[in-house]
């Protein structure tokens, strides 16, 4: 199963991604959590020390070795399909629950959408993760989903849009909905985040533009405290466990 997570800044994408990843790992799946947000902090949410961990986009030697060209160069010849299948194992770090983390990093955009060694490398890796990787993959992304690309996006089983009960979060969800239509990704679902009461729940239900709401993570003191204490929230917390269990069940293939 391959899940991508998107939504407005600060809504709880990383929190949801990390909790689902840990839930699956504790249920016995091999899980790869992919940090595809330029402002990477999925490691912290998983309780992984990422000091000294270089994002894939910044691994100059590796990119050179695999593409045949030095990152930073534009034009010239390089492999458009570098080998990447060994990278999820060799570059990831594992957390306490057995979740493996891969940090993608970002590329400074050259004018006109660069085709450069580092972008080819990231594209190849993304596409491998979605289309060929055997593990469950969950990708923590920013609000934009453009780096999925058309071919890759079609391999994503579900794009989860995290929404807070608030107008701006809903607006972002509508924008993401539009982007997904552009790239042919139709399997969308929303997850409510930081929901405090029935009124907020109803707000989400009324305003999601037809995107199915498959679950809700309530506003949780345990999640807020964990953040203050720089530790992952406890999955034993009944409220968190119940919410994640339901969302995970909704994501399981029905047949």
- Site residues, ligand ATP (CB under 6 A): 7, 9-15, 37, 39, 193-194, 217, 219-220, 223-224, 227
Query: To which residue do tokens 């991508």 refer?
Result: 4
- What's the rounded Cα separation, in Å, for the pair 20 and 99? 10
Distances in Å between the Cα of 63 and the Cα atoms of 66, 73, 77, 87, 156 are 5, 12, 13, 11, 25
Considering beta carbons, is residue 230 or 254 the nearer one to Mg ion?
230
Shortest CB 194 distance to ligand ATP, Å: 5
If one asks whether residue 15 binds Mg ion (CB under 5 A), the answer comes out as no
If one asks whether residue 18 binds Mg ion (CB under 5 A), the answer comes out as no
Which one of Mg ion, ligand ATP, none interacts with residue 40, CB within 5 to 8 A by kind? none
If one asks whether residue 172 binds Mg ion (CB under 5 A), the answer comes out as no
Distant-in-sequence, close-in-space partners of 56: CB < 8 Å, separation ≥ 6: 62, 87, 91, 102, 103, 104, 105, 121, 122, 125
Shortest CB 224 distance to ligand ATP, Å: 4
Considering beta carbons, is residue 36 or 124 the nearer one to Mg ion?
36
Query: To which residue do tokens 């060209």 refer?
Result: 69
Distances in Å between the Cα of 224 and the Cα atoms of 47, 51, 91, 232 are 15, 23, 30, 10
Tally of CA atoms within 13 A in the half-sphere of 123 that contains its CB:
18
Q: Which of 2, 8, 14, 35 binds Mg ion (CB under 5 A)?
A: 14
Considering beta carbons, is residue 41 or 154 the nearer one to ligand ATP?
41
If one asks whether residue 169 binds Mg ion (CB under 5 A), the answer comes out as no
Shortest CB 46 distance to ligand ATP, Å: 12
């Amino acid at each position: 199963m391959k899940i991508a997570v998107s939504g407005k800044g600060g809504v709880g994408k990383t929190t949801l991604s990390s909790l689902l990843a840990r839930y699956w790992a504790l249920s016995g799946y091999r899980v790869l959590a992919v940090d595809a947000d330029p402002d990477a902090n999925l490691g912290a949410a998983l309780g992984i020390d990422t000091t000294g961990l270089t994002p894939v986009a910044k691994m100059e030697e590796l990119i050179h070795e695999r593409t045949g060209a030095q990152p930073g160069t534009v034009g010239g010849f390089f492999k458009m399909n570098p080998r990447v299948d060994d990278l999820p194992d060799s570059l990831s770090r594992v957390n306490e629950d057995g979740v493996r983390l891969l940090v993608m990093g970002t590329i400074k955009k050259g004018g006109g959408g660069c085709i450069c060694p580092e972008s080819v490398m990231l594209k190849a890796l993304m596409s491998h993760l979605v289309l060929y990787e055997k593990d469950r993959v969950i990708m923590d992304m920013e609000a934009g989903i453009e780096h999925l690309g058309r071919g890759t996006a079609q391999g994503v089983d579900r794009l989860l849009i995290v929404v807070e009960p608030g107008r701006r979060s809903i607006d972002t969800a509508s924008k993401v909905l539009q982007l997904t239509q552009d790239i042919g990704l139709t399997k969308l679902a929303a997850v409510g985040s930081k929901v405090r009461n029935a009124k907020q729940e109803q707000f989400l239900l009324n305003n999601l533009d037809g995107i199915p709401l498959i679950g809700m993570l309530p506003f949780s003191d345990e999640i807020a405290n964990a953040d203050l204490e720089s530790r992952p929230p406890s999955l034993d917390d009944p409220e968190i466990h119940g919410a994640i269990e339901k969302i995970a069940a909704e994501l399981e293939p029905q047949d």
